[in-house]
Structure 1
Amino acid sequence: MSELFSFSLRDMSTLGLALRQCGGGVDSMEEVSQALVDCLALNLGVSQDHSSVCEWVQFWKTHLYGDLTPELQRALESQELGAGRGGVSTLTLRSNTPCLLLLSSTQRLGNGGKKAIALHPDSASASPWFILLEEAQLPRHLFLGSEITESHALSPQYNPVFQLGQDSLKAIASAGCSGGKMLDVQTLNVQTIVGLWGVLPSGSCFVTLLGLRNTLAGEMLELFRPLALNIKVAILPFDRGTVFQTTESEDLFDFKSLATGGRRQLITRLRSQVNTLTELLDISEQATLEQSDRLEQTIKVLQNTLNQLQATQAQLIHTEKMSSLGQLVSGIAHEINNSVGFIYSNLPYVNQYLQDLLQLVNDYHTAFPTATPDIQDYIHEIDLDYLKEDCPQVLASMRQGTERIHRIVQSLRNFSRLDEAEQKAVDIHQGLESTLVILQNRLEQHNIEIIRHYGELPWVECHPGQLNQVFMNLLNNAIDAIAQAQPNHPTLEITTEFTPQRKVLIAITDNGLGIPSTLQNQIFDPFFTTKPIGQGTGMGLFISYQIIVEKHQGQLIFNSKPGHGTTFSILLPVPNKTVISNQ
């Protein structure tokens, strides 16, 4: 729990339980106060470096002057006492004078290191808020924002948490309350002080001060409320004597004046109160933990829903882009196919015309073997024999080029059927080959050999454009994996088979890097990618999985060995009525 501002309700409940248990196994108020300080320091991240948000923790409690050690009494007598709220400039220290004593701190207190502040008698029943205000001689509204009376100190509606901001701390320092007095606000980088306080049955007040680097928001302060109550429970068994007198007769007792039996009764009553309060806190904390678990579960559900919505939105955008691209490609392919069709259809006639012209030249050469000097010079200039030999080869190359353009256009038209909403029976091999034609440039760039193990397959009822999209994603990923691994003999195997379970199997195997075992559980997650920024969206495999599993009720699985390659397998169900075609 090193980061205070990331505390959850469960963290605060756990810390409250730890604070309440600090009262066990100790024998004095000083020991339990040090245990409380250590517990808070451990859980709130107090450290010697500047990375923590809580710089120090202090525990203060009111005691009677007569109960203090002689060293502390002499230290109080030597202090210069300021004017109090009643306007008294001097204060006579008596045995029943209440004093505020620093019992423990994260900065260990050596012999004589404790700090004590004598309080005015008319501070009876005052909360540590008023103690701070009086010692600093500051107006109340500086802390509270409005006027408040002492009756709030013992009211059931009182707030057991207060926070002093940087402006208030500067005012305290300027009033002479830093250093040897109440707060050393100039130590380290303290921007705000949070106090957890309460009033004990004896009338004593306690306050635990947290020196923080930042100001806490209101909702975080609300989480601190139970901590003050848990601190009170921990120190209740060690509360002794009357410090402040109250008007209620039932609270007027002097622990020292009680007989042995009365003391036992008092201790029994206090322990009973502690046990009752402990049980109430146990029930409250258990309910808090259960509600916290439900809240965290709800947050997880909402986060999953948000992720699904984001993934669905990304998929819809991607599908719309692909649909628009399919329409565009289909239109361009149609125009290219028309133009290439004119060229391709005229090549046989051009070839025939050329053969006729060459035959005519041969006939002229036979009929007139001796040509004029000008004609002889031109024959040598154009190298007539080479033209006769090369022209048929040029036409053959043009025919091959137009045939390749025709195949690419046909593949684009097959691949671009992304806007077809209805399922239709298609040839899986045709979709694979169309995709390979489109990727031919990348395959040649990396010298990848395609090894085909095609079996006899039935035509499959599917969304052909979406299925081609899956082939494109898987083959592109395989090429990327091979390009990164750079094996000696890069190969990409495509296997198709009609299984006895009447499923069409399409397996794509590469000899690339493989998928690290630590990432194999994430590859189908939306937005997950191992590619550099700008080279991968993390949606390819996620969308492929959606298309195969949700759209076609099939399976998309993989088997990968890091350093040895990966195989992605698609299994598509085939209805019983389908008959295998001869291919």
Structure 2
Amino acid sequence: MKLKQLENIDLFADLSEEELLCDIHGEMVEYKAGEQMWLEGDEAKYFMVVLEGTFQIYRIIKGQRLFISTFTKGMTGGELPLLAGTPHPGNASAMTDVKLFRIDEDNFWQMLGDCVPVRKKILKNMANRLQEINLLSFQREKLLSLGTMAAGLAHELNNPASAAKRASQNLLSTLDEFDHHSTEMLKSSMFKVPDRPGFLFQPIRDIINIDIKLSSLERSEREDDLIDWMEELGLDEAWDIASMLVAVGFTKENLSTFCEQLLPEQVPNFLRWMHKEVEMRLLSQELTISTTRISDLVTAIKQYSYMDQNLQEAQKVNIHEGINSTLIILNHKLKTKRIQVIKEYDEGIPLVAAYGSELNQVWTNLIDNAIDAVSEGGTISIRTYIDDTCMDTHSIAVAITDNGIGIPKEVQARIFEPFFTTKGVGKGTGLGLEIAHRIIVGQHKGDIEVSSEPGHTTFTVYVPEEVK
């Protein structure tokens, strides 16, 4: 075959008429959609020119499918293992029907010797591809290792976290029972009329409201009134007690009304007891919130990493669960910069057939970039909706918008290139958006669009309902 017949192929483009006269020998070969073309470790025998269709290169690392790259019409490949004398570095699977022009090893070496311009371009392609594959593989293996470690840690934390959460929830009811029994024993020595029916401390318990919200002015006024009253009763620690009691709804009026039922000499003891009672309840609430947070984090890590699931095949994925898990994982960064997250979810969107853990990697990269872009107190909004306009297929759209510094127009065309970054030295690898692009466009056959100006940047991800 004359190279002129392949002049529309990237490798042979821009060659002169004279340079296109080289004669090469090969064969046509076809693969059906879904067919395995070769496996990682198979002997590499051919240099390939993609005439039609699309196939994907991937590796299996620690049980997870690690997407490497996609080859489409006009691209060439196979030179790396042929030149290095190594087996195939990954698996290849036909995404659609594929037609290749395949050149065996002997004819490949002859082509390199006879066609100098082609040899130069192949060697340049090989160097670029080798650097890209090595760095991408390293980055992704590191991410997978971290994911595996996180999933294992989540598994180990799950039981003690659940036990602590149950214990914290039981603590409050135990405290209620303890109060009831202990105060029943003490009422005869505390109340002026102790023989009345019912639980005599119930009125004071009904006032306690751990979730009460007071303005600073209202809190200050209540504390001042309570401090004055308690100092008149001779309590040296009036300020400390007043602050705690006001925090759960007590005032001078409701406390003094209840204390009229008590023996005068017991009122200071009662107020000190109430102070510790409230403190225990607040500590119990804090413990419940903290253990619930741990439990939520464990659940998020399990969902984020798709622990205990087969990650080599597409699964039915809930887009919202993945985004929410990612937000929980990144919550510490959001809180540090006091970033407000606005979620506008279309609850009617269906599950999608996708690679869940890799989609979560996309949400992580995009949201993490948005966090870095906004200033303290900034805003990130996440909107999901069904889209039928961007692509030929029914897609789920996820738009992540921030009010940060924006991306300069002159570099927007390059942001998905490997190793390109606008961040300072040591702050970015230039792989986050490239990996996101590969996962969405290459692996899921979707799309990513970006629009940006100072104060408004939106990345919109389109995920087809079915991976083809």
Q: TM range, normalised to the smaller chain? A: 0.5 to 0.7
Where does residue 415 of structure 1 map in the other structure?
Answer: 304
Q: Whole-Å Cα distance in 2 between the matches of residues 472 and 407 of structure 1?
A: 18
What letter matches 2:434 in structure 1?
Answer: F
Where does residue 444 of structure 1 map in the other structure?
Answer: 335
Q: Does 1:395 align with 2:284?
A: yes
Q: Does 1:517 align with 2:406?
A: no
TM-fit CA distance, 1:349: 3.1
Post-superposition CA distance 1:226-275 (Å, at most 9, x none):
xxxxxxxxxxxxxxxxxxxxxxxxxxxxxxxxxxxxxxxxxxxxxxxxxx
Q: Does the C-alpha gap of structure 1 residues 390 and 327 become closer, same or farther in structure 2, counting only changes over 3 Å?
A: same
Q: Whole-Å Cα distance in 2 between the matches of residues 370 and 570 of structure 1?
A: 68
Alignment of 1:103-182 (within 5 A): none
Where does residue 358 of structure 2 map in the other structure?
Answer: 466
Where does residue 366 of structure 1 map in the other structure?
Answer: 187
Matched pairs, number = 276
What letter matches 2:340 in structure 1?
Answer: E
Identical-residue share of aligned pairs (%):
32
Q: Whole-Å Cα distance in 2 between the matches of residues 317 and 417 of structure 1?
A: 21
TM-fit CA distance, 1:296: 5.3
Q: Whole-Å Cα distance in 2 between the matches of residues 415 and 370 of structure 1?
A: 57
Where does residue 371 of structure 2 map in the other structure?
Answer: 479
Q: 1:571 aligns with which of 459, 462, 467?
A: 462
Q: Whole-Å Cα distance in 1 between the matches of residues 331 and 466 of structure 2?
A: 33
Post-superposition CA distance 1:483-512 (Å, at most 9, x none):
3xx6xx621111100123520001111111
Q: Whole-Å Cα distance in 1 between the matches of residues 459 and 120 of structure 2?
A: 35
SS of corresponding position for 1:447: coil
TM-fit CA distance, 1:301: 4.3
Q: Does the C-alpha gap of structure 1 residues 349 and 498 become closer, same or farther in structure 2, counting only changes over 3 Å?
A: same
Q: Whole-Å Cα distance in 2 between the matches of residues 356 and 481 of structure 1?
A: 52
Contact kept in structure 2, 1:325 and 1:416, CA below 8 Å: no
Q: Whole-Å Cα distance in 2 between the matches of residues 463 and 529 of structure 1?
A: 26
Q: Whole-Å Cα distance in 1 between the matches of residues 452 and 125 of structure 2?
A: 28
Where does residue 173 of structure 2 map in the other structure?
Answer: 352
SS of corresponding position for 2:462: strand
Q: 2:319 aligns with which of 398, 417, 428?
A: 428
Alignment of 1:4-403 (within 5 A): 295=116, 298-369=119-190, 380=269, 383-403=272-292
TM-fit CA distance, 1:297: 6.1
Q: Whole-Å Cα distance in 2 between the matches of residues 297 and 410 of structure 1?
A: 53
What letter matches 2:315 in structure 1?
Answer: K
What letter matches 1:472 in structure 2?
Answer: T
Where does residue 429 of structure 2 map in the other structure?
Answer: 537
Q: 1:404 aligns with which of 293, 297, 309?
A: 293
Where does residue 380 of structure 2 map in the other structure?
Answer: 492
Q: Whole-Å Cα distance in 2 between the matches of residues 380 and 366 of structure 1?
A: 13
Q: Does the C-alpha gap of structure 1 residues 481 and 369 become closer, same or farther in structure 2, counting only changes over 3 Å?
A: closer
Q: Whole-Å Cα distance in 2 between the matches of residues 296 and 541 of structure 1?
A: 33
Contact kept in structure 2, 1:326 and 1:417, CA below 8 Å: no
What letter matches 2:164 in structure 1?
Answer: I
SS of corresponding position for 2:353: strand
Larger RCO, structures 1/2 (Cα 8 Å, 6+ apart): 2
Q: Does the C-alpha gap of structure 1 residues 503 and 314 become closer, same or farther in structure 2, counting only changes over 3 Å?
A: same
TM-fit CA distance, 1:450: 0.9
Alignment of 1:543-554 (within 5 A): 543-554=435-446
Post-superposition CA distance 1:70-110 (Å, at most 9, x none):
xxxxxxxxxxxxxxxxxxxxxxxxxxxxxxxxxxxxxxxxx
Q: Whole-Å Cα distance in 2 between the matches of residues 388 and 564 of structure 1?
A: 50
Contact kept in structure 2, 1:524 and 1:541, CA below 8 Å: yes
Q: Whole-Å Cα distance in 1 between the matches of residues 139 and 306 of structure 2?
A: 15
Contact kept in structure 2, 1:494 and 1:506, CA below 8 Å: yes
Q: Does the C-alpha gap of structure 1 residues 413 and 393 become closer, same or farther in structure 2, counting only changes over 3 Å?
A: same
TM-fit CA distance, 1:310: 1.6
Query: TM-score, normalized by length of structure 2?
Result: 0.54
Query: TM-score, normalized by length of structure 1?
Result: 0.44
Contact kept in structure 1, 2:165 and 2:295, CA below 8 Å: no
Q: Whole-Å Cα distance in 2 between the matches of residues 305 and 553 of structure 1?
A: 25
Q: Whole-Å Cα distance in 1 between the matches of residues 397 and 128 of structure 2?
A: 31
What letter matches 1:527 in structure 2?
Answer: F
TM-fit CA distance, 1:346: 1.9
Post-superposition CA distance 1:14-43 (Å, at most 9, x none):
xxxxxxxxxxxxxxxxxxxxxxxxxxxxxx
TM-fit CA distance, 1:343: 1.1
Contact kept in structure 2, 1:523 and 1:529, CA below 8 Å: yes
RMSD (Å), alpha carbons: 2.8
Q: 1:505 aligns with which of 372, 375, 397?
A: 397
Q: Does the C-alpha gap of structure 1 residues 426 and 519 become closer, same or farther in structure 2, counting only changes over 3 Å?
A: same
Q: Whole-Å Cα distance in 1 between the matches of residues 423 and 330 of structure 2?
A: 19
Higher strand share: 2
Where does residue 198 of structure 1 map in the other structure?
Answer: none
Contact kept in structure 2, 1:423 and 1:461, CA below 8 Å: yes
Q: Whole-Å Cα distance in 2 between the matches of residues 571 and 525 of structure 1?
A: 19
Q: Whole-Å Cα distance in 2 between the matches of residues 551 and 523 of structure 1?
A: 19
What letter matches 1:473 in structure 2?
Answer: N
Higher Rg of the two aligned structures: 1
TM-fit CA distance, 1:381: 10
SS of corresponding position for 1:495: strand
SS of corresponding position for 1:556: strand
